[in-house]
């Protein structure tokens, strides 16, 4: 952990959000956030975790009261990894949206091969009242536009650096700068030139470099904008001033 933090610092990555994927591991996620002033946590159960302890709204709201918990999720829908009757996934997603609305914490939303149902559920459950981020975005501009209309931010991972990600690069050029975020999704999806290797937070600089090239602005400007966006979305403006 110390090596990861040192590499973050040397690459001018000043903060990170450690994302929860199930309740069993949440205490470990929270412990990391508690030990480091520039690390934060979310609480939620990922849609890929079939059979995991199922949270209810009250439980998520309770856990989200911790001052280092700044988001609800990762939540959403994934029709790629799991097949069959996935109504339990949609019910879980609704629970997270309602917990976000009640707690006042933004959502971290995952969607894979489920864009239509994801957007429909967001609209039905009034996700716009909570706001949040479409994490590790890989969808079309039309999906991004619909999420933006609900007040959501769009976050790009190392995938945007891949040569064959032409559609995603187009989206990255079109998202308003005040709604753009960058991430690693560590330990997955390492960006070029580390593609295929274990990812880590320090590598987010390569995502920033790609966004800078696509938008024809400096890497420093991307860093400033995405830091400000992160602080605004997760209500951390005072910390980042």
Give the mean model confidence (pLDDT) for residues 184-205: 93
Q: Do 177 and 126 lie in a common domain?
A: no
- Residues of the domain holding 239: 135-241
Q: What is the CATH number of the domain that holds 179?
A: 3.20.20.140
Which pLDDT score, from 0 to 100, does residue 241 have?
A: 64
Q: Which helix (H) or strand (E) holds 96?
A: helix 87-103
Q: For the chain, how many structural domains are there in total?
A: 2
| Average pLDDT value over all residues in the chain | 96
Listed residues 130, 147, 177: the one ending a domain: 130
Which pLDDT score, from 0 to 100, does residue 58 have?
A: 98
Predicted TM-score (pTM) of the model is 0.96
CB of 229 within 8 A of CB of 179? yes
Give the mean model confidence (pLDDT) for residues 193-222: 96
Question: Number of helices (H) and strands (E), helices first, in the chain?
Answer: 10, 7
């Amino acid at each position: 952990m110390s090596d990861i933090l040192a590499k973050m610092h040397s690459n001018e990555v000043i903060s990170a959000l450690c994302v929860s994927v199930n309740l069993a591991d949440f205490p470990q996620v929270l412990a990391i956030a508690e030990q480091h002033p520039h690390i934060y946590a979310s609480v939620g159960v990922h849609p890929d975790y079939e059979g995991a302890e199922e949270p209810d709204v009250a439980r998520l709201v309770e856990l989200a009261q911790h001052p280092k918990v700044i988001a609800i999720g990762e939540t959403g829908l994934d029709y790629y990894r799991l097949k069959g009757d996935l109504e339990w996934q949609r019910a879980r997603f609704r629970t997270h949206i309602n917990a976000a609305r009640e707690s006042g914490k933004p959502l971290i939303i995952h969607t894979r091969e489920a864009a239509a149902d994801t957007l429909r559920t967001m609209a039905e459950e009034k996700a716009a009242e909570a706001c949040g981020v479409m994490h590790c975005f890989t969808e079309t501009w039309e999906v991004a536009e619909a999420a933006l209309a609900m007040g959501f931010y769009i976050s790009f991972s190392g995938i945007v650096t891949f040569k064959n990600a032409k559609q995603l690069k187009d989206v990255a050029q079109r998202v308003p700068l005040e709604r753009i975020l960058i991430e690693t999704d560590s330990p997955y999806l390492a960006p070029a030139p580390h593609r295929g290797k274990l990812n880590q937070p320090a590598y987010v600089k390569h995502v920033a470099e790609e966004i800078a090239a696509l938008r024809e602005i400096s890497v420093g400007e991307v860093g400033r904008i995405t830091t400000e966006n992160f602080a605004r979305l997760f209500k951390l403006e005072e910390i980042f001033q």
